[in-house]
Amino acid sequence: MAERLILGQILAFDRDPFAGDPAGAARHETRGAVLVEGGTIRAVGPARALRAAHPGAVVEDMGDRLISPGFIDAHVHYAQTGIVASWGRRLIDWLQTYTFPEELGFADEGRAAGTAALYLDLALANGITSMATYGTVHATSVEAFFAAAARRGLRAWAGKTCMDRNAPAGLTDSADAAYAESKRLIAAWHGRGRLGYAITPRFAPTSTPAQLAALGTLWAEHPDCLVQSHLSEQTEELAWVARLFPAARDYLDAYEAAGLVGPGAVFGHAIHLTPRERARLAETGAAVAHCPTSNLFIGSGLCDVAGLAALGIPVGLGTDTGGGSSFSMLRTMAAAYEVGQLRGRALHPAELWWLATAGAARSLGAETRIGRLAPGIEADLVALDLASTPAIAQRAARAGDIWEALFPTIMMGDDRAIAAVWIAGERRR
């Protein structure tokens, strides 16, 4: 198979930047190269050395653009694309006013297919090459998404959103139907190409204990699937969970009692956690998707993502679109920085970049497949223009090192910074 060399600036992480000096977690090559063969990264290093060692490789020279792993969105609702940036509500009200009416429309297959294509085009334009998305209650919403992701060759996870209470009639299933339909979707799609299934109880308030238990049984039968749900996002929601699950020690316990907490479970938000919940997430190996634009937009609160990472909890970044207000992982990193500042902990650019790439991959149990520039990792890549607007360019021109050069793009960048995208080694944009 033909070898290809993609030349540009390279930033390759050797370790988790939360686990030590963040600036020392990655190697920077001002003139580097990524050797790609058959959809996989074969080597990463200085351009001169790799060109000499692989004289027959086809060269794609991206100049001084930064070659990075594609961004990974650890938590998104593709079906909410049409209601992004809806004004004036907090979580429960927002769900009832905007989200549930929108999701009712996904009974229509054409609507699901059209939105999946629209969403994936927006994601790719923003350099997002993998994602874990919620569907709606309708199995067709997941089938439409998987078909669209497969056409684009993406590594992606999705699941039918299960709800058997506290939602409109057209959006509810039952414990048995959630189990059976999810199981059928697993048989049809899980492990097909680059696709994976995520068992998806929406959140504790919209599932009975019986439905959560049925999905826990399903996970035990298919332990290589992900589980995704929401955890401790907004204070009104916490009070609701306490009323609905009087026997549970806390919010996480509602999931734990059903067998839904462990490695491969990824919980969105995780803001208002008790010490027990933090400890249990760490002990069980469950992951957290930090969704800062959403947490600011819906007014949920400030997640202690650095504190969770320090406990060893796998943490990744999620747009949570349409509760999140942007399709851009750059904008999402910027919001994570702002949330950190409000908590008194400025996240380093290395930490922000990690959350959007290798950290997100780890949170989805895919760290050996995606999210890093390293031999054997799938070649989902982006090339970033670190001077994509005049405002960014003039600031980046003063940078003393790569982190200073990167930070203006993190804080002010958008899809204009995404100069190229490769999926499994194929140039897609």
Contact residues toward ligand GUN (CB under 6 A) are 77, 91, 95, 99, 202-203, 230, 233, 294, 320, 323
Q: How far is the CB of 80 from Zn ion (least distance, A)?
A: 8
Decide if 420 contacts 65 (C-beta within 8 A).
yes
Find which of Zn ion, ligand GUN, none residue 226 binds, CB within 5 to 8 Å per kind: none
Output 304 or 380, the one with its CB closest to ligand GUN.
Answer: 304
How far is 3 from 37, CA to CA, in rounded Å?
Answer: 5
Which CB atom, from 67 or from 238, has the smaller least distance to ligand GUN?
238
By beta-carbon proximity to ligand GUN, the closer residue of 79 and 381 is 79
How many C-alpha atoms does 46 have within 13 Å on its Cβ side? 3
From Zn ion, ligand GUN, none, interface partner of 99 (C-beta below 5 to 8 A by class): ligand GUN
Identity of the residue, 265 or 406, whose beta carbon is nearer to ligand GUN in the bound complex: 265
Q: Which is nearer to ligand GUN, 70 or 292 (CB)?
A: 292
Q: Smallest distance from the beta carbon of 77 to ligand GUN, in angstroms? A: 5
Q: CA triplet 178, 289, 36: central angle to 5 degrees? A: 100
The 10 Å CB-count burial string (b at 16+, else e) for 11-44 is bbbeebbbeeebeebbebbeebbbbbbebbbbbb
Distance CA 390, CA 48 (A): 31
- By a kind-dependent CB cut-off of 5 to 8 A, residue 35 interacts, out of ligand GUN, Zn ion, none, with none
DSSP strand pairing (155-159 vs 226-231)? unpaired
- Partner in contact with 203, chosen from Zn ion, ligand GUN, none, beta carbon below 5 to 8 Å by kind: ligand GUN
Residue 273 CB, nearest distance to ligand GUN (Å)? 16
**What would the x/- binding string for Zn ion be over residues 303 to 342, using CB under 5 A?**
-----------------x----------------------
Give min distance, CB of 196 to Zn ion, in A.
Answer: 18
Q: How far is the CB of 287 from Zn ion (least distance, A)?
A: 14
Cα–Cα distance between 305 and 250 in angstroms, integer? 20
Binding segment for Zn ion among 58-66, 109-117, 143-151, 268-276 (CB under 5 A)? 268-276
Compute the distance between CA of residue 375 and CA of residue 427 in angstroms, rounded to an integer: 19
Q: Which of 159, 275, 84, 307 is nearest to 288 (CA)?
A: 307
CB of 209 to Zn ion, least distance (A): 21
Q: In this structure, are residues 140 and 106 in contact, taking their beta carbons and an 8 Å threshold?
A: yes
91 vs 383 by CB, closer to ligand GUN: 91
The CB-of-137 to ligand GUN minimum distance in angstroms stands at: 12
Shortest separation between residue 323's beta carbon and ligand GUN, angstroms: 3
- Strands 426-427, 418-423: pairing kind: antiparallel
Give residues with Cβ within 8 angstroms of 271, minimum separation 6. Answer: 232, 233, 234, 295, 300, 301, 302, 303, 304
- The 3-class SS string of 290-341 reads ECHHHHHHCCCCCCCHHHHHHCCCCEEECCCECCECCCCHHHHHHHHHHHHH
Interaction between residue 268 and Zn ion (CB under 5 A): yes
Task: From the list Zn ion, ligand GUN, none, pick the one residue 102 interacts with, judged by a Cβ distance below 5 to 8 Å according to partner type.
Answer: none
| Residue tagged 């699950």 (tokens) | 245
Which residue ranges make up the site for Zn ion (CB under 5 A)? 268, 320
